[in-house]
Amino acid sequence: MPPPITLDRKSLVRLAVVTLLTGVGAGLGGMLLALLLHAVQHIAYGYSTNVIVGGESFLQGVDGASPERRVIVMAICGLIAGSGWWAVRRFGRPLVSIKQAVQSPDTRMPMLSTLAHALLQIVTVALGSPLGREVAPREVGSLVAGWLARVAGLSANETRVMIACGAGAGLAAVYNVPLGGAVFVLEVLLVTFDATTVAIALVTSVIAAVVAWMGLGDESQYAIPSFALSGSLVAWSVAAGPVFGIAAYAFSRFMDRARNAAPGAGWLMIPLNVLNFAVIGLLAVHFPQLLGNGKGTAQLGFDGQLSIGLAAALLVLKVAVSASSLRVGAHGGLLTPGLTVGALLAIVLGGAWNLIGASVPSGAFALVGAAAFLASSMNMPITAIVLVAEFTHLGHDMLFPVVFAVAGSIGASRVCAMLASRASGGAKTMPTHVAASVTANAAQERPAGMKLLPVTHK
């Protein structure tokens, strides 16, 4: 365990400069990755080709593309995914995750391999991979922060803080969630709310988000109607919260197994990826909502434009194609996919609730369910609430059912994790992030046993 960091005036200046530059670097990196995503989407599906960031959504572009184009683009996506990640594993230096970099700052993230890994995630998600795009800007932000920290000669503990804050700043930039990016760092990566660390996390995330406005604008990710708070919605959030927790636990465990069963560096992952994504393209002929990370589907849910039957079908298919993509060795996040799965499950559960006499808009159910599912699937209750609030700019009153549902979801997920641990005689069969929550360590991002101590000043 490292001793507390003591900063003199010179060290404080170095840390401040690295903090500012990390925010700028992560913001530029996130902005460029997002612009690349939009450009590839427009070219691949032939919509809004005269602008990079336009008013036409990805789902609208996919829906307007011919069935043949969807299948062909997805087959190309599989070829790029399979050959790209095969080449990274075969010829690149071993990848170092954000978790590993935070644990041991001396273990550097290889620049070329990390950039190639991030670009592959962005390009494949743009072409239609059902996984999330949020890991790529986080990795680039951490890469920039780690390099700056070493150039400036920061201590090991300061470097850990900066690597984590770089990841949060990347998240803030690509989704325009400055507070969410900072809370993600504090709750998930560092597990501390020390005042100095809070300040660094906030500054880097705010700067990154503002820098990204230059190319992406400052609008929220989702536009939602105004929902009225009702007793029925609050009661449903209390009753349904544990259901989301159990479902999120099962989802995380399913995704962990798929990821762990992925092929190694052999050439077989190339045809497997082509086959997997071509099949997803065939499914997209009838379900265009399956393509991409799920943002468009979630927006349909918030707008109340999904029937119970369609939501149920998309729920099953979204989980299946996300798992199959991880199984064949593709990479990507599960933030937006998890949010989307939660919204779809909420529409189904909310529809059943309305059958007994309630009259709550399905979009309100989707909003609450998205937060509750995301909180447990990624083990970040506070971050989930903040992210959904920033994603949607939801009204203050809607925070009540969101908080109730998140609390019930987290409680049920923790119970599932403990029961699974007792049944197996240990935590090794539990989903990585849930096992971490039981031991108060976010193992997906920060290994057990490593704790960052507060930064103190002379």
pLDDT band at 454 (very low <50, low <70, confident <90, very high): very low
pLDDT band at 453 (very low <50, low <70, confident <90, very high): very low
Q: How far apart are CA 348 and CA 267, in angstroms?
A: 41
pLDDT at 360: 93
pLDDT band at 8 (very low <50, low <70, confident <90, very high): low
pLDDT band at 458 (very low <50, low <70, confident <90, very high): very low
Cβ proximity of 332 and 139 under 8 Å:
no
Give the model confidence (pLDDT) of 321-334 as tens digits: 999 999 999 999 99
Give the model confidence (pLDDT) of 277-323 as tens digits: 999 999 999 999 999 999 999 999 999 999 999 999 999 999 999 99
Q: How far apart are CA 35 and CA 69, in angstroms?
A: 22
Give the model confidence (pLDDT) of 19-72 as tens digits: 999 999 999 999 999 999 999 999 999 998 888 887 789 999 999 999 999 999
Residue 445 scores a pLDDT above 90: no
Cβ proximity of 191 and 184 under 8 Å:
no
Give the model confidence (pLDDT) of 425-435 as tens digits: 754 444 544 44
Domain at 9-216: CATH code: 1.10.3080.10
Q: Which fold has domain 231-438?
A: Clc chloride channel (1.10.3080)
DSSP 202: H
Length reported for the chain? 458
Cβ proximity of 390 and 177 under 8 Å:
yes
DSSP 333: B
Domain range list for the chain: 9-216, 231-438
Q: Tell me what the mean pLDDT of segment 201-205 comes to.
A: 98
DSSP string, 10-28: HHHHHHHHHHHHHHHHHHH
Share of residues in the chain with pLDDT > 90 (%): 81
Q: How far apart are CA 30 and CA 47, in angstroms?
A: 23
Residue 438 scores a pLDDT above 50: no
| Arithmetic mean of pLDDT over the chain | 90
Give the model confidence (pLDDT) of 346-400 as tens digits: 999 999 999 988 889 999 999 999 999 999 999 999 999 999 999 999 988 999 9
pLDDT at 53: 81
Domain 9-216 and domain 231-438, same fold? Reply is yes
- Taking phi first (over 0 means left), then psi (-120 to 50 degrees means alpha), and beta for anything else, what does residue 379 get? left
> 10 Å Cβ neighbour count for 145?
32
Give the model confidence (pLDDT) of 408-428 as tens digits: 999 999 999 999 988 887 544
pLDDT at 51: 82
